[in-house]
Amino acid sequence: MTAAVAEANPAPMTPSAPTTDQLFALVERLHADRPWGRVLDAGTGAHSLSWVMGLPTTAWTAVTGGEGGKDQLARRHADRVRPQDRLIVGDWAEPGLLAGELYDVVLADYLIGALDGFAPYFQDRLFARIALHLRPGGWLYAIGLSPMPDHAEDDGGRLILEINRLRDACILLAGHRCYREYPDDWVRRHLEAAGLVVEHSERVPILFRARYVNGQLDVCRSKLPLIRDLGLRAALDQQIEDLRRRALAEVERTGGVRFAHDWVIAAHKPG
Ligand SMILES: C[S@@+](CC[C@H](N)C(=O)[O-])C[C@H]1O[C@@H](n2cnc3c(N)ncnc32)[C@H](O)[C@@H]1O
């Protein structure tokens, strides 16, 4: 699996900008008045990089797994990068990445779920690997999406599950890899195994809006040209637009679908 293929899936699980902002606001509250110092954004993207750039850091390093992602971010934020800041392409499975560098804060924002597309089967090593870059006394903040349940209690939740299944089916039929999410207790166990002390763990309910519906169904649509069978392609196309119509009507009617949750975990390295 190459990074280039995984990159073709644009952050399929990031629910929505308002939800993400709420998660960063929680991280800021948890960090309280400690200085941010040197920050490592270990799985960067448009949201986390904008947030990190707005913090009073002394320097930041942002890592992404794909060249395309890096170029897009570099273009978008060119005017906000200071000489001491770095946006780099790398793979945490490579032992040499950032060898010897230490940071005051390490952020893993929706990184664990994306790992399957870039370094499959490395998930159990990820937190120990990025914790190598935390100075003693430093803080690691992990943010992620809990795996969705198999069933939902109401129409809204059922529509979100239907969207996710259709998205993953299209990704697989196109020959690409899906994201794989992990629950908060799995992450806590691995942070502790990495020698960190978990100080806070919180679940944050998600409100899915039109942006999520369109974003995920657009991922489906982008995969269609890669499906050879024209009959299957046409049937999926119809399915995508029918689901879009039903899901948009539901979020319009309800003001958003409340379903599933994200998690935010704060851990520190004893110093
Ligand atoms: C879902 S995106 C993260 C969302 C991002 N924080 C945002 O603000 O939208 C996952 C990021 O982790 C990166 N990534 C995934 N696996 C990686 C690996 N093995 N090594 C380095 N980066 C990786 C991806 O390239 C991408 O930049």
Ordered DSSP codes for 186-252: HHHHHHHHTT-EEEEEEEEEEEE-HHHHHHHHHHHHHHGGG---HHHHHHHHHHHHHHHHHHHHHHH
* Distance of alpha carbon 71 from alpha carbon 18, whole angstroms: 25
Provide the residue ranges of all domains of the chain, joining segments of one domain with +. 3-149+178-207+259-268
Q: Which CATH number fits domain 3-149+178-207+259-268: 3.30.420.40, 3.40.50.150, 3.30.70.2190, 3.40.50.720?
A: 3.40.50.150
Ligand 1 probe mutation, 23, 50, 111, 124, most atoms within 8 A of CB? 111
Ligand 1 probe mutation, 22, 23, 44, most atoms within 8 A of CB? 44
Determine whether the shortest distance from the Cβ of 93 to ligand 1 is under 6 A: yes
Determine whether the shortest distance from the Cβ of 198 to ligand 1 is under 6 A: no
Give residue-wise pLDDT tens across range 177-222.
Answer: 999 999 999 999 999 999 999 999 999 999 999 999 999 999 999 9
Determine whether the shortest distance from the Cβ of 45 to ligand 1 is under 6 A: yes
pLDDT band at 14 (very low <50, low <70, confident <90, very high): low
Mean pLDDT calculated for residue range 82-102: 97
Determine whether the shortest distance from the Cβ of 118 to ligand 1 is under 6 A: yes
- Which residue's alpha carbon is at the smallest distance from atom 23 of ligand 1? 65
Q: Which residues contact 222 (CB under 8 A, 6 or more apart)?
A: 8
Determine whether the shortest distance from the Cβ of 215 to ligand 1 is under 6 A: no
Mean pLDDT calculated for residue range 135-153: 97
Lowest-pLDDT range, 56-60, 74-78, 105-109, 263-267? 74-78
Say which residue, 89 or 15, is predicted with more confidence: 89
pLDDT of residue 172: 96
Name the percent of the chain lying above pLDDT 90: 87
pLDDT band at 67 (very low <50, low <70, confident <90, very high): confident
Give residue-wise pLDDT tens across range 25-40.
Answer: 999 999 999 999 999 9
pLDDT band at 18 (very low <50, low <70, confident <90, very high): low
Atom of ligand 1 nearest to the CA of 6: 25
For residue 24 the two structure tokens come to 């960063």
Give residue-wise pLDDT tens across range 117-134.
Answer: 899 999 999 999 999 999
Determine whether the shortest distance from the Cβ of 63 to ligand 1 is under 6 A: yes
Determine whether the shortest distance from the Cβ of 6 to ligand 1 is under 6 A: no
* Distance of alpha carbon 213 from alpha carbon 38, whole angstroms: 36
Q: Is the pTM of this model over 0.85?
A: yes
* Distance of alpha carbon 106 from alpha carbon 42, whole angstroms: 7
Give residue-wise pLDDT tens across range 206-263.
Answer: 999 999 999 999 999 999 999 999 999 999 999 999 999 999 999 999 999 999 999 9
Determine whether the shortest distance from the Cβ of 44 to ligand 1 is under 6 A: yes
Atom of ligand 1 nearest to the CA of 47: 8
| Average pLDDT across the chain, whole number | 93
